Amino acid sequence: MNGRPAVFFDRDGVVNVSPGAGYVLRWEDFHLAPGIVEALALCKARGYATIVVTSQQGVGKGLMTQAALDDIHARMQAELAAHQAAFDGIYACTHLSGTCTCRKPSPEMIVRAETDHGLDLSRSWLIGDHDRDVQMAVNAGVPRTVRILSHHEPKVAADVTLEDTSQLAALLEARLPAV
């Protein structure tokens, strides 16, 4: 495919500060992670599509409504747009484990984004903080993976591991070629 490459971002723990074992259920609890605005702006400046691929099981569990999730994403997009860093697409699996085909590590969200945005996955990247994120990229044929360290012990190897998101823009500055 001759489409544009993308950088896929997990949400909780990458785009925003991880809520830990719980869920971000309202905008007041959503805080952009350090360095993420700069990383997104760099991806856009280099010609990459930026796509969120996120599991939001809190909806499936009834802890929040789809409307509340949509509101959080709309406010996130508005905040990022003020810095020319809004995402080109947001894909969220809101289902309970075992009840769908799109839950990570399934490649389904990435494949849907590929179709919707005409993406070239062979030149794309994924940035996540869990094995399921990295495995989703592998399953979708996304060759470059970055792991942000979290409280989970990694079992699936990523190409690069960073202590936190504050290092992400510098890594992308050095390694993300312009398209």
The set of catalytic residues is 10, 12
134: its two tokens: 């990295």
Burial class (CB in 10 A: 0-12, 13-18, 19+), 83: middle
Using CA atoms of 31, 44, 132, 65 in order, give the dihedral in degrees to the nearest 10: 50
Residue 20: how many CB atoms within 10 A of its CB?
10
